[in-house]
Structure 1
């Protein structure tokens, strides 16, 4: 009796298990695989990378080297990309043309021969900046960095200036007054010239004389009549290129 009862109970359990849905081990494996796949997709789909250059004009002085900074943010590997720097106001417009195999000299504007460089080792970090050596006044303008395969185009402005230290000299020296002249040569763009006393106060002086030479550089000069002993300063400044030069002069009693 006991044996039969146990057998009937086991039969009931078998029938019950047959009615329940079966989960094969392969189903569990498929579930785990699907979970990993979804995770990988979510990881790969992030914020799209953007090509970013300086929004403010880059300022350089004639004769210096300058870097037109441009990079991807977030960083991506750009080694397999074609990177082209151009100035549309020039003909030919190509400043630097870089293929994955290296620089292409074809159609480069002659003014930039041997004066440009791309940081090839930094392409893998998303840096596509261009360096210009020995900047000229004629290099000032709007540059465009483009990656045609990615359909990305960004522009950046380069401003080029020229400066020099002002020179002060006696024009006349009479018993009760001294006339000083301050002159600054080779400036670009056109600067302003001021006279200041020993405490930094602006002084009333003669009109500023300006001459623009055939090289487009400006020479400015201005005279000051001095009637007392003091330290005097001639200040020349150009706000567009954020440049200031000063020379100090002491007039004894």
Structure 2
């Protein structure tokens, strides 16, 4: 054996075992979760559980529940304490850790008052020192909405239209029409709309001949729960409803209203009939939510579209005569479109449709010169505050249309349009044009004239040049005098200033 100075075999062995003892040994535990998705109904509570294997305490470990990013957890429980600083806002006050079973490595997160937005994948991450394991869980949120309600439009000739509506379903439900034998009927249209709260509203339409079927059912099915709700309508019975022989009359011509003005929508029954026991509904494309709902003599606010809340009022409640007028304050471009007015009683309705055209007459156009070179002049005509898109024309002094060089329409934040159009004038001694902007729905227009003589323009530039030269000569003279006499306060003018003014000798 050869011994080296300062080194011994026994010391090397001791150092080797010391390194082994200080090196971190790999952990042999893992995290598992449920093998099947967890079902939770809207409004109820959900329990998400993950388990350490082999079983061991998780009391002093770091447990983090998250969805997409660990840095913004659903909930974090570290070393026996809750950590809420980085928690997702939508889970604050809604989640907690169930500590039963944590000594055996069972970690359970409770989410209160389940919402549609809670649907999806979750991750359970458990960490001890620098060792971390995680598993994923699938939470399926589901909910049964309202039972379907079938509305029947009074017969038109030999055809009957049925509309089935329901709300509050999650996820997207399936809708069926069936006859009395259970045979499926083909829907004419079907609309599934998911609103801000995540819940679905369904509206399905069926058209039948009044002598082809007697009883029709509408069924709405939740595919996750495999549960359904249904309603049936007896068509012959509905023929006895008083609305079957009435008509709803609305505006016969499109209603024109300017941005910022009030809108008035009037509907009435013909022949005149007391409508106090009926529901009157002003809608756009769908029955729910509505522009305005009047039932039992009152406004039904919970069924109103958010953008119309605080903007609507009945200004003429003659319901005992079957006539009502709805006023919408402060018209905006979003109010533009088709409306329907429905009178309904006991599931039978009559309706009238009409168009509302919101118009905006913009600012007077302004014409400016963008550039002048090589004998060319580019004229730019601009205006803002128009709706819908206006018509823009350039015309010469004889009223003939001149093709525009460019035209750009830009929609602003309030839906109003800004227009900018340009005209390129070349090799012309006289420029005399008009920019005209008109609203397609109004017999009104705004215009601006532009007239410029090229010789006069050249003469003006010569005058400007002469004035500039005279001003430069005057400034030079003042500098020269100041160098000769000194500054007003007996401070000498800097020599470099005078050198520049007089020139060096």
Helix, strand or coil at the partner of 2:291: strand
Residues 123 and 250 of structure 1: CA distance in aligned 2, closer, same or farther (over 3 Å): same
**Alpha-carbon distance, 1:175 to partner:** 10
1:53-132 correspondence runs (5 A): 53-89=250-286, 92-132=288-328
1:249 aligns with 2:249: no
User: 1:116-164 CA distances to partner (integer Å, 9 max, x unpaired)?
Assistant: 1223444445432322111222223332211112732222232334341
**Alpha-carbon distance, 1:243 to partner:** 6.1
1:26-37 correspondence runs (5 A): none
Gaps of 5+ in 2: 1-244, 454-505
User: 1:81-126 CA distances to partner (integer Å, 9 max, x unpaired)?
Assistant: 4322223448x42221223433222322111111112234444454
**Alpha-carbon distance, 1:242 to partner:** 3.4
Aligned-partner Cα distance in 2 for 1:83–1:184: 42
| CA RMSD after TM alignment | 3.1
Q: Which structure is higher in helix share?
A: 1
2:343 equivalent in structure 1:
147
Q: Which has the higher contact order (CA 8 A, sep 6+)?
A: 1
- Greater shift after overlay, 138-147 or 74-83? 74-83
State the aligned residue count.
204
TM-score w.r.t. the length of structure 1 is: 0.65
Aligned-partner Cα distance in 1 for 2:289–2:433: 49
1:1-253 correspondence runs (5 A): 50-89=247-286, 92-149=288-345, 151-165=349-363, 166-172=365-371, 178-225=377-424, 227=428, 232-239=433-440, 241-242=441-442, 244-253=444-453
- Greater shift after overlay, 205-214 or 173-182? 173-182
**Alpha-carbon distance, 1:234 to partner:** 1.5
**Alpha-carbon distance, 1:179 to partner:** 3.7
TM-score w.r.t. the length of structure 2 is: 0.36
Gaps of 5+ in 1: 1-47
Aligned-partner Cα distance in 1 for 2:403–2:367: 17
Helix, strand or coil at the partner of 1:106: helix
Residues 122 and 205 of structure 1: CA distance in aligned 2, closer, same or farther (over 3 Å): same
Residues 98 and 211 of structure 1: CA distance in aligned 2, closer, same or farther (over 3 Å): closer
Q: Which structure is higher in strand share?
A: 2
| Contact 1:78–1:123 (CA under 8 A) maintained in structure 2 | yes
- Greater shift after overlay, 57-66 or 131-140? 57-66
Aligned-partner Cα distance in 1 for 2:258–2:308: 17
| Contact 2:276–2:297 (CA under 8 A) maintained in structure 1 | no
| Contact 1:168–1:247 (CA under 8 A) maintained in structure 2 | no
Helix, strand or coil at the partner of 2:303: coil
Residues 129 and 101 of structure 1: CA distance in aligned 2, closer, same or farther (over 3 Å): closer
